Structure 1
Amino acid sequence: MPIRIGSCTCGQLRIEVQGAPTGIGICHCLACQQRTGSVFAALASFAAPYKVIGSATEYVRTGDQGAKFIFRFCPVCGTNLFHTEEGVAGSVGVAVGAFADPGFPAPQLSIYDCRRHPWVRLPAGTVAFKKDPP
């Protein structure tokens, strides 16, 4: 089973995941734009088990549908590396850029497409949702 290691900029915080991603998506919501400092967040979901190496700072944000997301940041360099959803065990969302792999697969989903900057083009075959899918 393939192992991937995602890392913050300084290398203090890392996450080790196994197997293929269970999903890859991009989110254009304003909260993700502010959180990443970019025009969208690119995230890959992986099933447990996963291993965290280093220490993280946590930030909890409540989504539009009431879910609580726990984002983990490196306290040294500030990189937002991964997140989980409160009450949902068994999966983790990792920032695609943390793998530093230009060959990483393209997203399958685009959410909050209503907030997508008009100059951002989605890869062919990406399924877009106006907001968060049900």
Structure 2
Amino acid sequence: MRSASCSCGQLRIEVDGEPLGVGLCHCLACQQRTGSVFAALASFAPPYRVSGQATEYLRQGDQGARFRFRFCPVCGTNLFHTEEGCEARSVSVAVGAFADPAFPAPRASVHDSRRHAWVALPPGVRVFDKDPP
């Protein structure tokens, strides 16, 4: 089991097992959402357990998919999100919220066409100009 939480600890998510995938997203929406130059995300299969209150934000992606982001209403941390219609398949959690420097490295980089030129990727990362097919 892994546990991730917001900065103040009010909102938490617990996931089981190893991540289905770990990746970086460089799309402009993720840059604005995180306040950083990319989002680092890990997806996990259900079940997962959420405790605390969350504020939700629904955003439509470039290819029409709709994503429901959950934020802590107290500290503002963006903790996790799901894709509308795919909640039974996976949940994506912000890697930094695990506060685990030994967390597995990313294996994919999406929307790489928006990656800042000074951001270097770890060796072996699969790069996708936009979303993978």
Counterpart residue identity of residue 114, structure 2: R
Secondary structure, aligned partner of 2:89: strand
Residue 29 of structure 1, CA deviation: 0.3
Q: How many residues align?
A: 132
Measure, in 1, the Cα distance between the counterparts of 2:46 and 2:80.
13
1:114 aligns with 2:110: no
Partner of 2:101: 102
Counterpart residue identity of residue 114, structure 1: S
Query: Which of 44, 54, 60 is matched with 2:58 structurally?
Result: 60
1:90-118 per-residue CA deviation (whole Å, 9 max, x = no partner) reads 31000000000011111000000000000
Residue 44 of structure 1, CA deviation: 0.1
Secondary structure, aligned partner of 1:90: coil
Partner of 2:124: 125
Partner of 2:12: 14
What are the equivalent positions in structure 2 for 1:50-89 lying under 5 Å apart?
50-88=48-86, 89=88
Structure 1 runs (4+) greater than 4 angstroms displaced: none
Residue 87 of structure 1, CA deviation: 0.4
Measure, in 1, the Cα distance between the counterparts of 2:16 and 2:89.
12
Query: Which of 43, 46, 49 is matched with 1:45 structurally?
Result: 43
Higher strand share: 1
Pairwise CA RMSD = 0.4
TM-score (norm 2): 0.98
Measure, in 1, the Cα distance between the counterparts of 2:132 and 2:47.
26
Partner of 2:34: 36
Measure, in 2, the Cα distance between the counterparts of 1:79 and 1:100.
13
Percentage identity across paired residues of the two chains: 75
Measure, in 2, the Cα distance between the counterparts of 1:109 and 1:51.
26
Residue 132 of structure 1, CA deviation: 0.7
Q: Is the 8 A contact 1:49 1:90 kept in 2?
A: no
Structure 1: which 5+ runs fail to align? none
Residue 39 of structure 1, CA deviation: 0.2
TM-score (norm 1): 0.98
